[in-house]
Amino acid sequence: MTEAKHTPGPWRYDVESEAVFADDGDVCPNVVFLNDNTSGDQNLADGTLIASSPDLLAALKIAEKHIASVCGETSEDDLPEWFNDLKTIRAAIAKATD
């Protein structure tokens, strides 16, 4: 497994500064909301989603491992939905890590 290129999680969103911070208290570079045209509710929703990204990526990697294990024991004809889900998961992981 390659080392992460992103700031390691966990992250948290701070409503007052509208910034995403790493667990060590440092602000995550280039992840700051300074858009006066966006509502506080939308910034909160966006910031919370962004702050959860490291956890979501870790969960996808776990799901990928388990689904790949099941798919490795059968054919795509037997579990087409699982194979499609595995492709979707792998694409999301690649998008987040490439």
**More reliable by pLDDT, 35 or 87:** 87
Contact between 9 and 53 under an 8 Å Cβ cutoff? The reply is yes
**44-58 b/e (C-beta count within 10 Å ≥ 16 → b):** eebbeeebbbbeebe
pLDDT digits (tens, 9 = 90+) for 35-70: 666 677 877 888 888 889 999 999 999 999 999 999
Average pLDDT score, the chain: 84
pLDDT at 33 over 80: no
Query: pTM (2 decimals)?
Result: 0.78
CA 49-52-53 angle, 5° bins: 95
Task: Using pLDDT thresholds of 50, 70 and 90, give the confidence band for residue 76.
Answer: very high
Cα separation, 93 vs 61, in Å, equals: 7
Domain extents in the chain: 11-51, 55-97
